[in-house]
Amino acid sequence: MARLNLLEETRFEKLPVSVYKNSREASLSVAARIATLIKEKQAKGEQAVIGLATGATPVQVYAELVRLHREEGLSFKDVITFNLDEYYPMQPDAVQSYVTFMNKHLFDHIDIDKANVHIPDGTLDLADIPAYCVEYERKITALGGLDFQLLGIGRTGHIGFNEPGSAPNSGTRLVTLDDLTRRDASRDFGGKENVPTKAITMGIGTIFKAREIILMAWNPVKAEIVKKAVEGEISSDVPATYLQLSDHVEFILDEGAASELTRFNTPWLVTDCVWDSQTIKKAVIWLAEAVDKPILKLTEEDYNNHGMAQLATEKGPVYNINIDIFNQLQHTITGWPGGKPNADDSQRPERAVPAKKNVIIFSPHPDDDVISMGGTFIRLADQGHNVHVAYQTSGNTAVWDDDVLRYLEFATDFIKSLDVETSKLDALYADTRKFIAAKKPNQIDTEEIRTVKGLIRKGEAIAGARFAGLPDEHIHFQNLPFYDRGKFSKEVSYEDDVQQTMELLRKVKPHQVFAAGDFADPHGTHKVCFDIILEALVRLRQTDEWTKDCWLWLYRGAWHEFEIHEIEMAVPLSPQEVIRKRHAIFKHQSQKDLPVFPGDDAREFWVRAEDRTSETARKYDALGLADYEAIEAFIRWKLD
Ligand code: F6R
């Protein structure tokens, strides 16, 4: 065991963990440690031998090292680096190679001697790999071993590319990538089928010999695997658990990646809690799930046996706590997502007045509206509200190339049938066909192809919104510029997007805004789309009176749902509404069967949507509330 854990709070944690507010602060501190190591070594006239990782996680560390070099004179002249891994096979000049990655993020911007840089060679003949790996290890050993090793963690629990099943004493070698790892990499390669199946990686034994090991993880996406690595049993199923055996390892996490650790997720199990209303709600719902009982049947004994005796004493008797939480959950349920006219709304999620509300649903991609809140969308329209929908981006990235040809053929044939000149279209078609035939994975499409793909999605979005009952003039295809701009430049201004959104909001003057509240991927389109809406609303609040009556509701994207204790409005769907919603999703034909970016979930979007809403309904039922077919969930973002 790495150390004696004396703190109560962290008693489930089997290695040292430091949690930072965000990945930026954490990255700065890691970069500072690396810089100190380099300088200490330099002062002694020695070289620093550093193991490096690639991927999204270390990018900010490298950016800070580059800054330290440029602005504070940190020199890498005496630094020798060994990268953890490289895909196999892989040409060093390929966009996805780790050589390209390291040059782009670090080596091209610092004064390192390229002869001191080592990255496993993805171009070797298979037969030459074993000897190459032995030599890679020998070089590290000859230099006195790694002073420092930087690590990320994959969702399989891999470190380097040591996938589940790797031995604790494994050395540098050729490995087969796990399917989940390849799916996670599929965006970089333009589809999982283009991701190599193999990689050359340093072994766990190699990593282990480093004198200091820092594993970093950001984002709630990593929270589950981080919990297993930190609190789980040591097992080859989660190779990162081997790090528990090291005396010089530390995990550096942001709050999102740490969120599943016991001290944050269920703090009552390890420490005395401050029992505020949100913690009580979370704990009681957790308890009901843990003992598999409805809330109103929870007993004092259940509380005492699950770390909640303090709550029972401070706020009990427990039956009163149970009733209070039950009522809170009951009050989240409403069949009137736009407010119930002429009803007492003191215990309802939405206001009764005005009875007919102006509503705008923002959909980051053209199908998020129906996938994530299709039932509520249909209900709002059915209940007579003045509903608008705004498709924020064209979503052109997610359309298959062969659909482009199909639609162009349709357009040409149609125009020909009218006996109209088509030579321009014929030429465009020929060029497009040639481009697609020679297209490399992840190559950016021509402007014309992007337009056709965007139009395909526009047609589908309009069909979906019409199906939900909207008139054409309430359907807005914003086509925000940041979406395509991001493909060509790193410019991060969203000013034109914000202006466009403000203009639309001014036109609609909504009482309700629905937006996708997906914050798991800080660089993802959903997060950017949300930030644009928020910025637009914040600015409008300075000048426009109607904003005082405007409530912002968040729904979740296609993947995760809010946790039950977070939900503030739960809209139940009847079996018929579930089917209507399904048909609205079916209007998005280009995304059906096999979307271009399925992510890590093989289910079709409509299946995911239905599984998610029926799961929420099941959870409400299990807690002792009514048994519905499906529930769509929302939380309210307070603008004040
Ligand atoms: C990269 C590597 C991998 C990554 C891990 C996390 O050299 O060896 O173990 O550290 O897959 O990847 P990101 O940081 O992209 O989430």
The CA distance from 312 to 72, in Å, is: 56
Residue 68 C-alpha to ligand 1 middle, in angstroms? 24
Nearest CA to ligand 1 atom 12: 55
Q: Collapsing DSSP states into helix, strand and coil, what is residue 365?
A: coil
Q: Which burial class, exposed, middle or buried, applies to 56 when counting CB atoms under 10 A from its CB (0-12, 13-18, 19+)? A: middle
Q: Are 256 and 291 in contact (CB under 8 A)?
A: no
The closest-lying atom of ligand 1 relative to the alpha carbon of residue 152 is 10
Residue 168's alpha-carbon distances to 164, 243, 552, in angstroms, are: 11, 9, 50
Q: Which two tokens stand for residue 241?
A: 């658990």
Residue 78's alpha-carbon distances to 40, 98, 106, 396, 522, in angstroms, are: 11, 22, 15, 47, 35
Q: Are 407 and 445 in contact (CB under 8 A)?
A: no
Residue 626 C-alpha to ligand 1 middle, in angstroms? 44
Q: Collapsing DSSP states into helix, strand and coil, what is residue 634?
A: strand
Q: Are 606 and 589 in contact (CB under 8 A)?
A: no
What per-residue confidence (pLDDT) applies to 594? 79
Q: Are 89 and 195 in contact (CB under 8 A)?
A: no
Give ligand 1 pocket residues (Cβ under 6 A): 53-57, 84-85, 152-154, 158-161
Q: Give buried/exposed letters for 575-599 (b at 16+ CB in 10 A, else e).
A: eebbebbbebbbbbebbeeebbebe
Ligand 1, residues 30, 50, 82, 84: which to mutate, most atoms within 8 A of Cβ?
84
Q: Collapsing DSSP states into helix, strand and coil, what is residue 65?
A: helix
Nearest CA to ligand 1 atom 2: 160
Ligand 1, residues 23, 30, 102, 153: which to mutate, most atoms within 8 A of Cβ?
153
Residue 85 C-alpha to ligand 1 middle, in angstroms? 9
Residues 420, 424, 430, 432: is their CA dihedral positive or negative? negative
The CA distance from 75 to 35, in Å, is: 9
Phi, psi of 252 (to 5 degrees): -115, 115
The CA distance from 310 to 243, in Å, is: 35
Q: 10 Å Cβ neighbour count for 307?
A: 20
Nearest CA to ligand 1 atom 4: 152
Residue 159 C-alpha to ligand 1 middle, in angstroms? 7
Residue 68 is which amino acid? L
The CA distance from 509 to 225, in Å, is: 44
Q: What is the dihedral of CA 519, 524, 526, 528, to 10 degrees?
A: 90
Q: Are 494 and 527 in contact (CB under 8 A)?
A: no
Residue 151 C-alpha to ligand 1 middle, in angstroms? 7
Nearest CA to ligand 1 atom 1: 54
The CA distance from 21 to 361, in Å, is: 31
Q: Are 409 and 454 in contact (CB under 8 A)?
A: no
DSSP, residue by residue, 530-574: HHHHHHHHHHHHHH-GGGGG-EEEEE--SS----GGG-SEEEEE-
Residues 442, 447, 449, 451: is their CA dihedral positive or negative? positive
Q: Give buried/exposed letters for 412-437 (b at 16+ CB in 10 A, else e).
A: eeeeeeeeeebeebeebbeebeebbe
Domains and CATH numbers, the chain: 36-262 (3.40.50.1360), 274-330 (no CATH), 358-397+447-637 (3.40.50.10320)
> Which residues on neighbouring strands pair with residue 327, listed in sequence order?
none
Q: Which helix (H) or strand (E) holds 516?
A: strand 512-516
Residue 122 C-alpha to ligand 1 middle, in angstroms? 17
The CA distance from 261 to 271, in Å, is: 13
The CA distance from 188 to 281, in Å, is: 41
The closest-lying atom of ligand 1 relative to the alpha carbon of residue 58 is 14
Nearest CA to ligand 1 atom 3: 160
What per-residue confidence (pLDDT) applies to 2? 41
The CA distance from 116 to 139, in Å, is: 11
What per-residue confidence (pLDDT) applies to 56? 93
Q: How far out from the chain centre does Cα 636 lie?
A: 20
Ligand 1, residues 27, 82, 119, 161: which to mutate, most atoms within 8 A of Cβ?
161
| Locus of tokens 């009218």 | 418
Q: Which two tokens stand for residue 182?
A: 């390849």
Residue 248 C-alpha to ligand 1 middle, in angstroms? 20
Residue 40 C-alpha to ligand 1 middle, in angstroms? 28
Residue 153 C-alpha to ligand 1 middle, in angstroms? 6
Ligand 1, residues 90, 158, 252: which to mutate, most atoms within 8 A of Cβ?
158
The CA distance from 192 to 5, in Å, is: 42
Q: Which helix (H) or strand (E) holds 249?
A: strand 249-254
Nearest CA to ligand 1 atom 11: 154
The closest-lying atom of ligand 1 relative to the alpha carbon of residue 221 is 16
Nearest CA to ligand 1 atom 9: 160
Q: Which helix (H) or strand (E) holds 612?
A: helix 605-622
Nearest CA to ligand 1 atom 10: 152
Q: Collapsing DSSP states into helix, strand and coil, what is residue 333?
A: strand
Ligand 1, residues 23, 50, 52, 57: which to mutate, most atoms within 8 A of Cβ?
57
Q: How is the chain split among helix, strand and coil, in percent rounded to 5?
A: 50, 15, 35
Q: Which two tokens stand for residue 341?
A: 């006219």
The closest-lying atom of ligand 1 relative to the alpha carbon of residue 222 is 16
What per-residue confidence (pLDDT) applies to 490? 61
The CA distance from 147 to 436, in Å, is: 48
The closest-lying atom of ligand 1 relative to the alpha carbon of residue 162 is 9
The closest-lying atom of ligand 1 relative to the alpha carbon of residue 83 is 7
Nearest CA to ligand 1 atom 15: 55
Tell me the average confidence (pLDDT) per consecutive run of 10 residues in the chain, 640 residues long: 61 96 97 98 98 96 98 98 98 96 97 98 98 98 98 96 96 95 86 92 97 96 96 97 97 96 96 94 98 98 97 96 98 98 97 98 96 97 98 93 95 91 92 95 91 96 96 97 81 90 98 90 80 97 97 85 95 97 96 77 88 96 98 94
Residue 426 C-alpha to ligand 1 middle, in angstroms? 46
Residue 34 C-alpha to ligand 1 middle, in angstroms? 19
- Angular region, 144: left φ>0, alpha ψ -120 to 50, beta rest: left
Q: 10 Å Cβ neighbour count for 382?
A: 13
The closest-lying atom of ligand 1 relative to the alpha carbon of residue 158 is 9
The CA distance from 235 to 244, in Å, is: 10
The CA distance from 629 to 224, in Å, is: 29
Q: Which helix (H) or strand (E) holds 37?
A: helix 23-43
| Locus of tokens 């979406």 | 483
Q: Indicate which residues carry an active-site annotation.
A: 163
Smallest CA-to-CA distance from 120 within 93, 89, 166, 83 is with 83
What per-residue confidence (pLDDT) applies to 249? 98
Residue 510 C-alpha to ligand 1 middle, in angstroms? 43
The closest-lying atom of ligand 1 relative to the alpha carbon of residue 181 is 11
- Looking at residue 238, what DSSP letter applies? B
DSSP, residue by residue, 124-154: S-GGGHHHHHHHHHHHHHHTTS-SEEEE---
The CA distance from 310 to 299, in Å, is: 14
Q: How far out from the chain centre does Cα 152 lie?
A: 16
Ligand 1, residues 54, 198, 238: which to mutate, most atoms within 8 A of Cβ?
54
The CA distance from 615 to 608, in Å, is: 10
Q: How many residues are listed for the chain in this entry?
A: 640
